[in-house]
Chains A and B, each alone.
Chain A
Amino acid sequence: MENGLLGRMGIPRLIISLFLAFLVAMAFSYGLPMGQIFSAMLTRFGMNALLVMAMIPTIQAGAGPNFGLPFGIICGLIGATLAIELDLRNFTALFFAIGVSIPLGAFAGWLYGLLLNRVKGQEMTVGTYMGFSIVSLMCIFWLMAPYSSPEMVWPYGGDGLRVTVVLDGRMEQLLDRLWSFTIGSVRIPTGLLLVTIFCCILLWLFLRTRTGLAMSIVGSNPRFAEASGLNVNKYRMIASIISCAMGAAGIVIYSQSYGFIQLYQAPLYMALYSVSAILIGGASLQRATITQALIGTFLFNALLVIALPVANVAMDSDISEIMRVIISNGIILYALTRREVGGDAR
């Protein structure tokens, strides 16, 4: 790594920041409603932050970004749908959903961890496909599961749950609206941001406990860790459990802010978007910090939020989805081809 600003920032992050600045300038010059855009940026940042932070434990433990995040996401969706099935509302629903999701997610993470410890070195490929298969297996579950809440099943005798479940009046934007206020024309989703900060602090504290530090050592140098008596597999397992539990809670927070629970194929690529967000923040496949996760989440989502209206005005076609695909996968490719600093000690 070279020193200096460029070295510290990394070329991709620099390019993306400049691009973002360019789009913001464009938006201003087109006279777009900037208040709305900045509010949307903040909301989307809060929506995704926890899902992106879920990447940190596994990266730190040397298992790479958690491409198996769908394992956790699925559990969060089960929690959220159960809350509606039981006809819960407001904070009861939210806390119930999160309360159910976290232990389920931890269990799924435990299973996933068993797998991860048997496929060292291939975690990313195996994780991706295992994630894809669990999402398609769960499609059958959503279709067959005996849910009966009329808000979730198809109204006219169709099979199973709807593709998107509306959270209107249940827990839609519950955190976003909590203590929210407006500065100028920018609405600050206070509750959502506070929850994000709370999660950051929890994770920060965890990474500084004995277990957390041991986990980072296992990741940065497995042989040294083994020689000093640390059980490598145990710490990788802990990382997987925490990561999936965070993914589970993360999707509940995501859904409440979005206002819909997306079922079936929707979680398929969510892991990829979280991976790319943290990489955009400057993380590598071996090292990641909370700051990088937050910066990455903000840059990635800000870019997506602003690209849509700007592209609509500039060339009246929807280029933002294409851009999202190119940028998110491009950054993962970049990370994959980077020479690994220190090499793989396994």
Chain B
Amino acid sequence: MKLIQRNIVPILFIILCTIGFQYSGLSWMFFANDLMARLARNSFLVISLIIPVLAGMGLNFGIVLGAMAGQFAAFITVVHNLTGVGGFFAACVMAIPFAVLFGWLTGILFNKAKGKEMITGLILGFFANGVYQLICLIFIGWLIPISNKALLLPSGVGFVNTLDLKIWQYAIDKFYVFRARGIDIPVLKYLNNINIPVLTLVIVAILCTAVVLLFKTKLGQDFRAVGQNRHIAEIAGIKVDKVRIIAVIFSTVLAAWGQLIFLQNIGNVQVYGSHVQVGTFAVAALLIGGATVSKATIGQALLGTVLFHALFIVSPLAGKNLMGSAQVGEYFRVFIAYGVIGIALALHAWQRLAKKT
């Protein structure tokens, strides 16, 4: 009984997804393949949220900046035509300095707004999006010369809306694709004919292990100590502000890589749109997995990604079959994303208030 109570959110969403799947009329093959692709391309972004949660900074809506860092690196590879697996990893390396810088700035800002990190992160995301547009739309081609004129708008200033990333699309997804055939075991036979992007999953697995190991080190313990109680940690000699900044930097760098993995699967960058919803969707996925503002595990991140994206796949068709309009399903999933975050935050604040009095 307690198990159900503790996992009520994921259970609700499993039920919702099952109903949605029934009414969507999708074939299992299509659904499972789409879900696998989405799991591979989105889980990294969701996992990038875990460290700040455990460091007591709540859900880091500022990962939007990480996504921007990834995109800047992607632009560089496009301009210099770095292709294939090498191009992808070059982008990952070039994203690091951007992400560290953005993460450092975000961390400083969060330290000035302690206790209000989430709203600060959210507004920071909007603000950074403005600066990002300023750079990509006004500075590129004017202050920052770009040799390849095909990437610019006809006026010669600003990037075009969509940049093609064919040069390293599927760099790691199609590096080695495993496809099970002829499994006869009753439950496992559903895994037949699903394309599994092995390298991407291996990278995600390595990341998960790294995060687990990180929390076994001194630094990881510091994260936890700061997360549990800032004042006690300060007295225990931990440099709280510094640890918090490091936590945000980690999160931002991981988010940058996450965005690059996402882009290599999609195969193009919506220059002015790919990053905007990253924070909201990642946070919603993490919360659907059963995480809270102060507690999150890797299992929750992965489960949440699966459930959130399962809902994403089925809701337009389910909406069409149930309500006669695919738009309903579209709006419904946006509502779910925002609503889950709103309710989770409200419940968290409510519980904390109840504990205080």
A interface footprint on B98-137 (CB within 8 Å = 1, 0 otherwise)? 0000000000010011011011101110110111011001
What chain B residues lie within 8 Å of A136 (beta carbons)?
331, 334-335, 338-339
- The smallest beta-carbon distance between A1 and chain B, in angstroms, is 18
Quick check: A322 and B138 within 8 Å, CB to CB? yes
Shortest Cβ distance from A64 into B: residue: B119
Quick check: A119 and B131 within 8 Å, CB to CB? no
Quick check: A317 and B138 within 8 Å, CB to CB? yes
What chain B residues lie within 8 Å of A329 (beta carbons)?
123-124, 126-127, 130
Alpha-carbon distance A333/B119, docked complex (angstroms): 9
Count how many chain B residues have C-beta atoms less than 8 Å from C-beta atoms of the other chain: 43
What chain A residues lie within 8 Å of B127 (beta carbons)?
325-326, 329-330, 333
- The smallest beta-carbon distance between B61 and chain A, in angstroms, is 9
Quick check: B137 and A125 within 8 Å, CB to CB? no
Say yes or no for B346: interface residue by CB 8 A criterion: yes
Quick check: A125 and B353 within 8 Å, CB to CB? no
A interface footprint on B144-182 (CB within 8 Å = 1, 0 otherwise)? 000000000001011000000000000000000000000
- The smallest beta-carbon distance between A344 and chain B, in angstroms, is 8
Say yes or no for B228: interface residue by CB 8 A criterion: no
Say yes or no for B191: interface residue by CB 8 A criterion: no
What chain B residues lie within 8 Å of A129 (beta carbons)?
338-339, 341-342, 345
Alpha-carbon distance A120/B119, docked complex (angstroms): 14
What chain A residues lie within 8 Å of B352 (beta carbons)?
121
Which of these, A125, A132, A317, A333, contacts B155 with CB under 8 Å? A317
Segment of B16-24, B68-76, B246-254, B320-328 engaged in the interface with chain A: B320-328
- The smallest beta-carbon distance between A140 and chain B, in angstroms, is 5
Quick check: B350 and A118 within 8 Å, CB to CB? yes
Shortest Cβ distance from B330 into A: residue: A139
Say yes or no for B202: interface residue by CB 8 A criterion: no
Shortest Cβ distance from A142 into B: residue: B331
In the complex, chain B residues 329-349 whose Cβ is within 8 Å of any chain A Cβ: 331-332, 334-335, 338-339, 341-342, 345-346, 348-349
In the complex, chain B residues 185-204 whose Cβ is within 8 Å of any chain A Cβ: none
Alpha-carbon distance A144/B324, docked complex (angstroms): 10
- The smallest beta-carbon distance between B181 and chain A, in angstroms, is 42
Chain A CB count within 10 A is highest, among B118, B129, B349, B352, for B349
- The smallest beta-carbon distance between A175 and chain B, in angstroms, is 31
Interface range for A: 35 or more
- The smallest beta-carbon distance between A273 and chain B, in angstroms, is 11
What chain A residues lie within 8 Å of B353 (beta carbons)?
118-121
What chain A residues lie within 8 Å of B122 (beta carbons)?
125, 128
Alpha-carbon distance A327/B328, docked complex (angstroms): 34
Quick check: B349 and A336 within 8 Å, CB to CB? no
Alpha-carbon distance A315/B134, docked complex (angstroms): 13
Quick check: B346 and A115 within 8 Å, CB to CB? yes
Say yes or no for A143: interface residue by CB 8 A criterion: yes
Chain A CB count within 10 A is highest, among B116, B123, B133, B352, for B123
- The smallest beta-carbon distance between B281 and chain A, in angstroms, is 13
Shortest Cβ distance from A315 into B: residue: B138
Quick check: B113 and A322 within 8 Å, CB to CB? no
Quick check: B116 and A124 within 8 Å, CB to CB? yes
Quick check: B335 and A139 within 8 Å, CB to CB? yes
Say yes or no for A337: interface residue by CB 8 A criterion: yes
Shortest Cβ distance from B323 into A: residue: A144
Quick check: A336 and B113 within 8 Å, CB to CB? yes
Chain B CB count within 10 A is highest, among A119, A129, A160, A315, for A129
Say yes or no for A137: interface residue by CB 8 A criterion: yes
- The smallest beta-carbon distance between B109 and chain A, in angstroms, is 6
Alpha-carbon distance A129/B122, docked complex (angstroms): 10
Quick check: B123 and A333 within 8 Å, CB to CB? yes
Alpha-carbon distance A260/B106, docked complex (angstroms): 39
Alpha-carbon distance A126/B348, docked complex (angstroms): 10
Query: Given contacts A119-B349, A125-B122, is CB(A322)–CB(B341) below 8 Å?
Result: no
What chain A residues lie within 8 Å of B130 (beta carbons)?
322-323, 325-326, 329-330
B interface footprint on A190-225 (CB within 8 Å = 1, 0 otherwise)? 000000000000000000000000000000000000
Quick check: A132 and B342 within 8 Å, CB to CB? yes
What chain B residues lie within 8 Å of A122 (beta carbons)?
345-346, 348-349
Say yes or no for A164: interface residue by CB 8 A criterion: no
B interface footprint on A289-322 (CB within 8 Å = 1, 0 otherwise)? 0000000000000000000000000011101001
In the complex, chain B residues 280-338 whose Cβ is within 8 Å of any chain A Cβ: 323-325, 327-328, 331-332, 334-335, 338
In the complex, chain A residues 109-141 whose Cβ is within 8 Å of any chain B Cβ: 115, 118-122, 124-126, 128-130, 132-133, 136-137, 139-140
In the complex, chain B residues 41-94 whose Cβ is within 8 Å of any chain A Cβ: none
Shortest Cβ distance from A339 into B: residue: B112
Say yes or no for A74: interface residue by CB 8 A criterion: no
- The smallest beta-carbon distance between B334 and chain A, in angstroms, is 4
- The smallest beta-carbon distance between B346 and chain A, in angstroms, is 5
- The smallest beta-carbon distance between A123 and chain B, in angstroms, is 8
Alpha-carbon distance A118/B346, docked complex (angstroms): 8
What chain A residues lie within 8 Å of B349 (beta carbons)?
118-122, 126
Alpha-carbon distance A325/B124, docked complex (angstroms): 11
Say yes or no for A272: interface residue by CB 8 A criterion: yes
What chain B residues lie within 8 Å of A325 (beta carbons)?
126-127, 129-130, 133
Shortest Cβ distance from B348 into A: residue: A122
Query: Given contacts A317-B157, A329-B126, A337-B120, is CB(A130)–CB(B138) below 8 Å?
Result: no
Query: Given contacts A115-B346, A137-B339, is CB(A336)–CB(B331) below 8 Å?
Result: no
Shortest Cβ distance from B334 into A: residue: A136
What chain B residues lie within 8 Å of A118 (beta carbons)?
346, 349-350, 353
Query: Given contacts A132-B342, A329-B127, A333-B124, is CB(A125)–CB(B335) below 8 Å?
Result: no
**A interface with B by C-beta (< 8 Å):** 115, 118-122, 124-126, 128-130, 132-133, 136-137, 139-140, 143-144, 159-160, 272, 315-317, 319, 322-323, 325-326, 329-330, 332-333, 336-337
5 residue pairs, one from A and one from B, having the closest CB atoms: A325-B130, A129-B342, A329-B127, A119-B349, A122-B349
Apart from A121-B353, A136-B334, 10 more pairs, CB < 8 Å: A118-B353, A122-B346, A129-B338, A129-B345, A133-B339, A136-B331, A139-B331, A140-B335, A272-B123, A329-B126
7 residue pairs bridging A and B, Cβ less than 8 Å apart: A119-B350, A122-B349, A139-B334, A143-B325, A316-B155, A322-B130, A323-B130
